[in-house]
């Protein structure tokens, strides 16, 4: 299914407004650092979080506040991760209390999120003044969503948002999202921070099922640098204001909803991977002919995660042996004997490996293909019918420069 792409980000669905401002968490006054997303009504909510054993204080609070399956607002700061910091959980709870007062909602219906430097103390003072100021700028508009998208950025080079329109039970529904992520991106999950809104009516358990279905096939399939963030968070709020009958699990409407959610997720996967720190190229590995879905996913991730292959892509070097090497160390019981590898971009396509062996090709043609900004690595294992995708980026000198002085 393909759905109509529309403007508006998280504000495209009915009943959602957003804002983003600078409140003083960052020293650079030119960079906004506080975002709010508010729903007009209490929403069904779902969330997925980092698997890192070290995780941000906001995630503790999010799990508490989403225990009943409902929420009404999301509060996000950038510039400080509120992870391994003194009093972090209590500070996250206090920010929820401040947001509740400013928005007129229950503090248990506020979901906090943070991103930035790990291990640094954070003061409540910027929130105390910033939350009311941010609430005053809430707008149900494309600009409101864009302002929020800017406010959650760290090393991102541009804001990331998307919105789509689809139909459930004869009613027009919308789904929008904003995301940030550039470094510390590696399964599981690989989103850094991502917030999705929809006006479709979906009960909490069904909403969580849908999100938990989509995350493994999308956000868990991104790798920029092999570091799993402490703060990775995906949140999904459903207002129900579109007026459709509540989506039942495994119904036709459920599959349509999951398809729309998948389109939103895949769009942002490409945005996140393509904006990896220092990246010049988006890499997409599509694996076909795998014996199982898990093997297809694991193989595509292995290729995308290979440091040697990522470096080769930066240099436009068709070193297909690095692809085979990555496939070979992927866990699972499968044969590589019939494996083929193609490299594809807007400049053309070239077969570089057939039956797990060299296939004669033009190095000049391959280099031309690999100089494009988006490259597909097409792997056919030839031993089944399962398929999967993964997304990543090339490894450049600038990645080291950015992370060599990240705190300064």
Q: Is the dihedral of CA 292, 293, 295, 296 positive or negative?
A: positive
Q: Angle between the 321-328 and 293-305 helix axes, to the nearest 10 degrees?
A: 130
191 in active site: yes
What long-range pairs does 365-372 form, CB within 8 A, spacing at least 24?
366/318, 367/316, 367/317, 367/318, 369/318, 369/343, 369/344, 369/345, 370/313, 370/316, 370/317, 370/318, 370/343, 370/345, 371/316, 371/347, 372/281, 372/345, 372/346, 372/347
Residue position matching structure tokens 């959650």: 152
Q: Return the beta strands (E) in 118-247 as ranges.
A: 160-168, 171-180, 193-198, 222-223, 233-238
Which is the catalytic residue, given 95, 115, 191, 233? 191
Q: Return the beta strands (E) in 142-296 as ranges.
A: 160-168, 171-180, 193-198, 222-223, 233-238, 282-290
Question: Which residues are catalytically annotated?
Answer: 191
């Amino acid at each position: 299914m393909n759905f109509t792409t529309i403007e508006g980000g998280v504000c495209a669905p009915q009943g959602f407004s957003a804002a983003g401002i600078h409140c003083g968490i960052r020293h650079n006054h030119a960079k906004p650092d506080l975002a709010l997303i508010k729903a007009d009504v209490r929403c069904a909510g779902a969330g997925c979080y980092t698997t890192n054993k070290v995780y941000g204080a906001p995630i503790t609070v999010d799990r508490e506040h989403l225990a009943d399956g409902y929420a009404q607002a999301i509060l996000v700061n950038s510039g400080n991760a509120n992870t391994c910091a003194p009093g972090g959980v209590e500070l996250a709870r206090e920010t929820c209390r401040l947001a509740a007062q400013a928005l007129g909602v229950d503090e248990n219906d506020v979901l906090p999120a943070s991103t930035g430097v790990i291990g640094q103390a954070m003061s409540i003072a910027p929130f105390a003044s910033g939350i009311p100021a941010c609430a005053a700028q809430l707008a149900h508009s494309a600009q409101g969503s864009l302002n929020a998208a800017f406010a959650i950025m760290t090393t991102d080079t541009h804001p990331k948002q998307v919105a789509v329109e689809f139909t459930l039970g004869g009613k027009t529904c919308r789904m929008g999202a904003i995301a940030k992520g550039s470094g510390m991106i590696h399964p599981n999950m690989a989103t850094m921070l991502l917030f999705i809104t929809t006006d479709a009516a979906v009960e909490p358990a069904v909403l969580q099922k849908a999100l938990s279905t989509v995350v493994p096939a999308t956000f868990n399939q991104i790798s920029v640098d092999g570091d799993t963030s402490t703060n990775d968070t995906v949140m999904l709020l459903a207002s129900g204001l579109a007026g459709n009958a509540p989506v039942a699990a495994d119904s036709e409407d459920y599959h349509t909803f999951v398809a729309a959610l998948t389109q939103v997720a895949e769009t942002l996967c490409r945005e996140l991977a393509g904006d990896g720190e220092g990246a010049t190229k988006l890499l997409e590995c599509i694996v076909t002919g795998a014996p199982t879905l898990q093997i297809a996913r694991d193989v595509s991730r292995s290729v995308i995660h290979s440091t040697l292959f990522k470096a080769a892509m930066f240099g436009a070097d068709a070193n297909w042996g690095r692809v085979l090497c990555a496939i070979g160390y992927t866990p699972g019981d499968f044969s590589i004997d019939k494996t083929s590898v193609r490299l594809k971009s807007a400049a053309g396509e070239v077969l570089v490996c057939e039956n797990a062996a060299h296939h004669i090709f033009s190095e000049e043609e391959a280099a031309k293909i690999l100089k494009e900004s988006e490259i597909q690595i097409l792997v056919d294992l030839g031993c089944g019918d399962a398929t999967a995708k993964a997304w990543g980026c090339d490894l450049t000198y600038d990645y080291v420069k950015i992370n060599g002085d990240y705190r300064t």
